[in-house]
Amino acid sequence: MESENNYRSLENPTEDIYTAAVRLRVQMLNGEPRGSVLHTKLKTLLVKLLLFICGALVAAIVLLVIYYFITIKNEDIAVTRQQNDSFMEQELRILQSEIATLSQRNTELSTKLSALEKQCSALEKSSQSQTCSMCPQGWLLLNSKCYFFSSNKLDWDSSRDNCTSMRGHLVIIESEEEQNFLQNELNRNGLESYWIGLTDSAVEGHFVWVDGRPLDSRLSFWGKSRDGKLQPDNWNQNGQHPNGEDCVQLHMKQNYTGWHDVFCSRLRKRICEMAAKAITFNMRP
Ligand SMILES: [Ca+2]
Ligand SMILES: [Ca+2]
């Protein structure tokens, strides 16, 4: 029954659709639905505004990220690079200092090696080992013997005791080679006179070395006096030294070069001697 009425109302509408639209328009103009329209527009506006703000924020973030990578990141890289450069310069200075130290050390070792090779040259050498004659610092080596030439002057007895205190003795000359070696060294040292380990203080005319061995006359190198006479002359200075001259020096003066007996109380430089110390180095790594 109800559907039948509805059908009739559709077949016979009480007002046409245009009239309804006009009525709705009038209602809107009269204010009843006006608030809801404004409300809808305001919501639309707010949504658009929010979207705009969000878009602006995203754009700002993107710009900030780009600014960071372009500017701040570059500054960080520059600072890091500067720190690295500073560190590298410091490392370089340290390395240069170490190189200078090593170079100096190398020079010192080369000098020592050169001196060592001189000391080792005359001794046994093989692929497996090398034996070297070593002398204390300041002593010279000849044929497994070490020689010390003093710079100060003492009388003969004090000179003998001084050599003994260094575990040596006043030099004992046993060959022409040794005599020439000593003369050559004295030539370099300024033609001075040096005590040697020979004396006849116990028995006049009987010269003995400091180790008690008598002088072999075939291995003697006496010099000459100013009057051309051969030493020893046991000069007594016109009786002022009744015991005469009992201690022997190696005299270096042109025509007088050689051994001279002189007063034992005279102050002279000295030549000390000791056996070199043999040290064997293992050459295998
Ligand atoms: Ca004498
Ligand atoms: Ca003399």
Q: What is the whole-number distance in angstroms between the Cα of residue 158 and the centre of ligand 1?
A: 18
Domain ranges within the chain, ordered by starting residue: 1-121, 132-281
> What pLDDT shows up at residue 22?
62
3-state SS, residue 53: helix
Model confidence pLDDT, tens digit, residues 6-59: 445 445 555 555 565 566 565 555 655 556 777 888 888 899 999 999 899 999
Q: How far is the CA of 226 from the centre of ligand 1 (A)?
A: 18
CA 98 to centroid of ligand 1, rounded, Å: 62
Strands (E), 136-237: 140-142, 145-149, 169-170, 194-199, 208-209
- Write down the mean pLDDT value for the chain: 85
For residue 279, the model assigns a pLDDT of: 84
Q: Containing H/E element for 281?
A: strand 277-282
Question: What single string gives the DSSP state of each residue in 149-173?
Answer: E-SS-B-HHHHHHHHHHTT-EE---
Q: How many angstroms does the Cα of residue 155 sit away from the middle of ligand 2?
A: 16
Distance 167 CA to ligand 2 centre (A): 29
Q: Which ligand is nearest to the CA of 246?
A: 1
Third-level CATH fold of 132-281? Mannose-Binding Protein A; Chain A (3.10.100)
